[in-house]
Amino acid sequence: MLLNSFYTILNSNTDDSTVSAEVELNGDHEIFSGHFPNIPVVPGVCQIQMTKEILANELNKKLRLTRANNIKFLAIINPNENKNLQFDLKYSEEDGQIKTQNVISYDGKVFFKFKGYFVETD
């Protein structure tokens, strides 16, 4: 779990089937010492994990990724240059799965786009 160590949720709003959250990255997190020294970059797997955690937090459910239809990394997220990020998630439930779309951006710059499915776990 990355919440409250790698990143913190500054604020979030849920409206019907959308979640909007602003997060702050912890640029001192140990992940950045290996990815990459002196040039920190948020790993793609962390962007997907944050998407899952923010959605799970808002839905108050434990989730597992079952399928990622489309993942686009559009720009590097360096916590020294982009400490805050905006998550805009849309979701719907279909056949026991949670269909999800997410865009990570900040100040008009888009870093990441995601479309995929999660399921609730025990």
Angle at 33 between CA 44 and CA 104, to 5 degrees: 30
Residue 31 covered by a domain: yes
Residue 2 covered by a domain: no
Domain that holds residue 55: 7-121
Domain tally for the chain?
1
pLDDT digits (tens, 9 = 90+) for 75-119: 999 999 999 999 999 999 999 999 999 999 999 999 999 999 999
Residue 108 covered by a domain: yes
pLDDT digits (tens, 9 = 90+) for 12-53: 999 999 999 999 999 999 999 998 888 999 999 999 999 999
Residue 100 covered by a domain: yes
CATH number of the domain residue 74 falls in: 3.10.129.10
Secondary structure (DSSP) of 22-49: EEEE-TTSTHHHHS-TTS----HHHHHH
**CB half-sphere exposure, 105, CA atoms < 13 A:** 11
Q: Are 73 and 111 in contact (CB under 8 A)?
A: yes
Residue 57 covered by a domain: yes
